[in-house]
Structure 1
């Protein structure tokens, strides 16, 4: 359960103000059809995070526990720094994908926007850290949905009221704490 809860919390916080959350708001304002948008976010996130989880699991098996501990610890600390870099969205991506309908547009745009994104990199690191791939992917997917479903339904009103710099700061502190804790761990990683 630890892997599930940490994955959920980290990704939910990490997604606040992220480009995919901005994309969710943009699609909600453009199409005004929340159900296919939410379904597209879910399917794209499951596919993307499952692939990231498998990569993280492979990395965990390919490396020894000491090397893995250093890589994961440093990755979490790097994620903390990356959290402080604001995201922006490329409006052209949503425009060109619109020929696929609301669900297809969301699916394609989210899958592509999530490639190499903070939350995908976090999923790789979490899957390398925790051996329960299903718990990590379920947790990161739930975290994405917790951040993006309200964005779809409330759109720009949420973005105007939530201080993203504070949310990013809290997420950065959590990532940094996990990184330091991983680096200072006396034993090997669970496996």
Structure 2
């Protein structure tokens, strides 16, 4: 359960102001049909995070515990810095409305592609490698994404303009620093201290 809560909170905070949250806003404004947008975002996130979680678990099996621990430390520290850099949504990130995919298909495809190499995908890989709990990590990171994106889909500009994005980014960055510190402690003292 701890894995689920950590995964949900880390990704939920990391997603504030992220490219996919901006994409949620654009799709909601363009289509004005929240249900297929939410369902498309959910399916794309679940597929993307399942692949990321599987990669993280695979890395945990093939890498030595020492290398894996240091890789997790590095990924958390990297995320602490990366989260402070605001994302921008380019026109290339939004799939053309001329595609015959419908709202659900367009949202699913766009979300899936936007998540490739994104912060939350990297975090999902790192969390799955760290915790070795595929289902809890994927469930938590998917819920975190949905908690951050569904309100934007339904409330749009009203919510986005009132959210203290910079403060949330600082909080998320601090959380990554703490997680990185705990992972570092485990790397330095592998027998004496558990990682979390």
Q: CA deviation at 1:74?
A: 1.1
Say whether the 8 Å CA contact 2:14–2:83 is kept in structure 1: yes
Q: CA deviation at 1:168?
A: 0.5
Q: Which runs of 5+ in 1 are unaligned?
A: none
Say whether the 8 Å CA contact 1:80–1:173 is kept in structure 2: yes
For residues 151 and 55 of structure 1, the distance between their equivalents in structure 2, rounded to whole angstroms, comes to 29
Say whether the 8 Å CA contact 1:97–1:109 is kept in structure 2: no
Q: CA deviation at 1:132?
A: 1.1
Deviations 1:74-113 (A, max 9, x none): 1101000000011011134425255221101100000000
For the aligned residue pairs, the C-alpha RMSD in angstroms reads 1.3
Report the counterpart of residue 18 of structure 1 in structure 2: 18
Higher normalized helix content (fraction of residues): 1
Report the counterpart of residue 60 of structure 2 in structure 1: 60
Say whether the 8 Å CA contact 1:53–1:137 is kept in structure 2: yes
For residues 89 and 9 of structure 2, the distance between their equivalents in structure 1, rounded to whole angstroms, comes to 23
Q: TM-score, normalised by structure 2?
A: 0.93
**Structure 1 ranges of 4+ moved more than 3 A:** none
Report the counterpart of residue 135 of structure 1 in structure 2: 136
Report the counterpart of residue 151 of structure 1 in structure 2: 152
The answer to whether the aligner puts 1:109 opposite 2:106 as a matched pair is: no
Q: Which runs of 5+ in 2 are unaligned?
A: none
> Alignment length, in residue pairs?
190
Report the counterpart of residue 182 of structure 2 in structure 1: 181
Q: CA deviation at 1:187?
A: 2.5
